[in-house]
Structure 1
Amino acid sequence: MTRTQKPGILVYCPAKERWQIQKIDHSYDLHCGDCFEIKVGYEYIPCRIELGCEWLLYLRETRFYLHPKQKYEVKVD
């Protein structure tokens, strides 16, 4: 984690129909093309969020579909 990156939690907000990153001091909505790192196993991998038929992440060359009832650990600037 770089000095500017802070841990957060990626959660789905059904009222807004969009994913949010919640940090200790605030939360904010994500938009298509936003980039951050998501924890997979024991490491963080850079990714980009997009909206197709469903919200998904692009992890390197792989699509990863997000489950709205799941929370994910992330690192963001």
Structure 2
Amino acid sequence: MTQKTGALIFDETADRYDIRFDIADYYGGLHCGECMDVFTGGKWKPTRIEYGDNWYLVGIRAEDLNGLRVRI
């Protein structure tokens, strides 16, 4: 299976994060527990998205998830 690379964006209408691959190409909304890789510190790290007091990526320290480079 080929992975696609994009950027995390927050979809305010759905109140959840999505991945934007291109101008009009989106993943379709992320749900708790969905796994992906995030590019941080110069390398790809496996993670999953979860929701507590706010959305976060397990094992990734980030103030804001918007714009993070991910692949799924």
Band of TM-score, shorter chain:
0.7 to 0.9
- Could you list the runs of 5+ residues in structure 2 that have no partner in the other structure? none
Which residue in the other structure is 2:42 paired with? 42
Q: For residue 35 of structure 2, what is the amino acid of its counterpart? A: C
Q: Which runs of 4+ in 1 moved over 2 A?
A: 63-66
**CA drift at 1:66:** 5.3
Which residue in the other structure is 1:8 paired with? 6
TM-score (ref. length: structure 1): 0.77
**CA drift at 1:46:** 0.3
TM-score (ref. length: structure 2): 0.81
Which residue in the other structure is 2:25 paired with? 26
Seq. identity, %: 30
Cα separation, partners in 2 of 1:65 and 1:56, compared to 1, 3 Å: farther
Root-mean-square deviation (CA), in Å? 1.9
Query: Size of the alignment, in residue pairs?
Result: 70
Query: Would you tell me which structure has more strand in proportion to its own residues?
Result: 1
Q: Is the 8 A contact 1:54 1:65 kept in 2?
A: no
Note the alpha carbon deviations across 1:26-68, whole angstroms, 9 max, x for none: 2110000000001102111000100111001112xxx535526
- Could you list the runs of 5+ residues in structure 1 that have no partner in the other structure? none
Which residue in the other structure is 2:61 paired with? 64
